[in-house]
Amino acid sequence: MRILLGITGGIAAYKAANLIRAFSEAGHEVTVLPTENALRFIGQPTLEALSGHNIDIDMYSDVEKVRHVSLGQDADAIVVAPATAAFLGRLAAGIADDLLMNAILASEAPIFLAPAMHTEMWQNPATRANIQTLEERGIRIMEPASGRLTGEDSGPGRMPEVEEIFDFVLSLGALRGKKVIVTAGGTREPIDAVRYIGNSSSGRMGIEIAKAARDQGADVTLIAANIEAVLPAGIKIEHVSTVDDLEIAMDHPSDILVMAAAVSDFKVEKPYPGKLKRSGSMELTLTATKDLIAAYSANHQNAYCVGFALADNDADLEQVARQKLWDKGLKLVVGNRVSALGTKDTSVLLVENDKASELTGTKQEVAKALVAFISQSVSV
């Protein structure tokens, strides 16, 4: 793979030397492109010797080679480590004022960033907003590590270790060429023209799973049932409302289906076409909806189907999840408890035919670990 390695002007720039070596030793062709400020932290001769090529960061030299475009277009992946707060801001705003920024904007290659800065800079609202913008554009951003920073301080902001950056860049792509369908949110079954039977699912978990699958190189379709959150870039989105809509949207073959949407078990037999008026009392007749995931797994035997099971707090979670696995012919069931709903951190039990393992963390962390687990199982 041809890797364009950008280095920006942070204290961790010296660590990029080992990153050049790690990528080169693994057989990748590394083109190093430091910013002017990066060269205050690490010497050009070091970078030239390790990468085996001359480094010229002047945008206006060798103009006949149109390097400000070709450097980006020739890359299969762009990695920027360390990425300064200033760089994140310039990239979020699209300010192409040096060779590295021009190359990045001229490229369609996947971009991986390893930000490193003081904790306050990392947590500053401006940096948070830039990170959100970049993630929404599909740029893959590593969470900085916690530990000793420049001077006496310590906290989140350290550049992750070289091995971790290496793994982050190269483990991605495990789902390249795979078609993944993720359902998220909650269905709504109309009672009348304005009221419905719904649920409180925010869709956050499904969105994070879709992002993690996208970041592994998959071709992802996110079927969003009544989600209000901002939906990620780099993913095909289909909006649905009812169980019937969802069934139609799901009617496509896939390599992996993750059914994270909360699907209504009932629908109103005859929704009222207008708005029902208040009256003393009324009765609604509910009928059971179709079991979409069971039908999907029966019709798409080669798909790796993942379901979710929500169990009462006093239930045997593993037992509930495994029963669902067998009943619906699934490969994996992600079990969680009612008490975990609405909490910031989440804890789930991954239940397979013969084993179970627990994942704990934020929804984003759990989603990434779940997708890593699925991609391993699919590649076996």
Q: Annotated active-site positions, please? A: 199
Q: Which of 139, 191 has the CB closer to ligand FMN? A: 139
Window of 8-16, 196-204, 222-230, 266-274 that interacts with ligand FMN by CB under 6 A: 8-16
Q: Which of 57, 369 has the CB closer to ligand FMN? A: 57
Least Å from the CB of residue 9 to ligand FMN: 3
Window of 2-10, 178-186, 219-227, 268-276 that interacts with ligand FMN by CB under 6 A: 2-10
Least Å from the CB of residue 157 to ligand FMN: 7
Q: Which residues contact 134 (CB under 8 A, 6 or more apart)?
A: 88, 91, 92, 113, 141
Helix boundaries (H) for the chain: 16-25, 44-51, 67-73, 85-93, 99-105, 119-123, 125-136, 162-171, 204-215, 243-250, 292-299, 317-328, 363-379
Q: Report the site for ligand FMN in 207-266 (rule: CB under 6 A).
A: none
- Provide the token pair at 301: 């035997």
Q: How many C-beta atoms surround the C-beta of residue 273 within 10 A?
A: 8
- Provide the token pair at 105: 């904007």
By CB under 6 A, tell whether 134 contacts ligand FMN: no
* Contact yes or no for 346/362 (Cβ under 8 A): yes
> Any idea which residue has 């400000």 for tokens?
68
Q: Which of 37, 347 has the CB closer to ligand FMN? A: 37
By CB under 6 A, tell whether 87 contacts ligand FMN: yes
Q: What is the DSSP string of 305-366?
A: EEEEEEE-TTS-HHHHHHHHHHHHT-SEEEEEEGGGTT-SEEEEEEE-SS-EEEEEEEHHHH
* Binds ligand FMN by CB under 6 A, chosen from 150, 319, 357, 376: 150
Q: d(Cα 211, Cα 217) in Å, to the nearest integer?
A: 10
By CB under 6 A, tell whether 116 contacts ligand FMN: yes
Least Å from the CB of residue 163 to ligand FMN: 20
User: What percent of the residues of the chain are helix, what percent strand, and what percent coil, each to the nearest 5?
Assistant: 35, 25, 40
Total residues in contact with ligand FMN, by rule CB under 6 A: 16
Overall residue count recorded for the chain in this entry: 380
* Contact yes or no for 310/337 (Cβ under 8 A): yes
Q: Which of 81, 117 has the CB closer to ligand FMN? A: 117
Q: Report the site for ligand FMN in 26-45 (rule: CB under 6 A).
A: 35, 37-38
Q: Which of 127, 202 has the CB closer to ligand FMN? A: 127
* Binds ligand FMN by CB under 6 A, chosen from 1, 11, 197, 378: 11
Least Å from the CB of residue 116 to ligand FMN: 5
Query: What is the binding site for ligand FMN (CB under 6 A)?
Result: 8-12, 35, 37-38, 84-87, 116-117, 121, 150
